[in-house]
Amino acid sequence: MSRSRYLPLLAACLMLGLPSRAALAAATDVEALLALTEPPAGVVFEIVSANPRALERTLPQARDAIRRLRERFPGLPAVIVSHGSEQFALLQSAAAERPAVHQAVRSLLSEDDVPVQVCGTHAGWRGKRAEEFPDYVGVAVSGPAQINDYVALGYALVLLRP
């Protein structure tokens, strides 16, 4: 079922102030989440791109969105799941080439309590092992499955595009 089919449900829930799992999963807009009267269980930010430099743009977007959402809903849990080519910028071997990205992830975890996870399956397809990512990057078996697990827990899904 396409996300556009959920938009009427989301609009109805927003008008009634009643978040539903389907509506929250379809809410790909931070503004829509800010308009809710009750917070979702949390927010999962999905980053997937063929652009290996996408995290340079999307991590600051995520941090800004998380801070805005937490101003509205203090303590709102948040997580970032990256499962495209951009995730390879988080390999330990890429830290010297992309120090700002690594610092952003460390800061998200230590200052904002926001874990960043990557897709172990995609890494494996490229011959990379979980051990090749630093300890401040979580490695999920499957990024899409991890996102689905968060959505099943009532997390709203926000898609970040570079």
Torsion of CA 13, 19, 21, 25, to 10 degrees: 80
Q: How confident is the model at residue 17 (pLDDT cuts 50, 70, 90)?
A: very low
Residues in CB range of 52: below 8 A, 6 or more apart? 85, 86, 88, 89
CB-CB contact of 66 with 112 (8 Å): yes
Strand partners, 81: 46, 117
Q: What is the per-residue pLDDT for 13?
A: 38
Average of per-residue pLDDT values in the chain: 87
Residue 157, burial from CB neighbour count under 10 angstroms (0-12, 13-18, 19+): buried
Q: What is the per-residue pLDDT for 161?
A: 85
The mean pLDDT value for 1-13 works out to: 41
Q: How confident is the model at residue 77 (pLDDT cuts 50, 70, 90)?
A: very high
Which pairing describes strands 155-160 and 42-47: parallel, antiparallel, or unpaired? parallel
Q: What is the per-residue pLDDT for 21?
A: 41
Q: What is the pTM of this model?
A: 0.83
Q: How confident is the model at residue 28 (pLDDT cuts 50, 70, 90)?
A: low
Q: How confident is the model at residue 160 (pLDDT cuts 50, 70, 90)?
A: very high
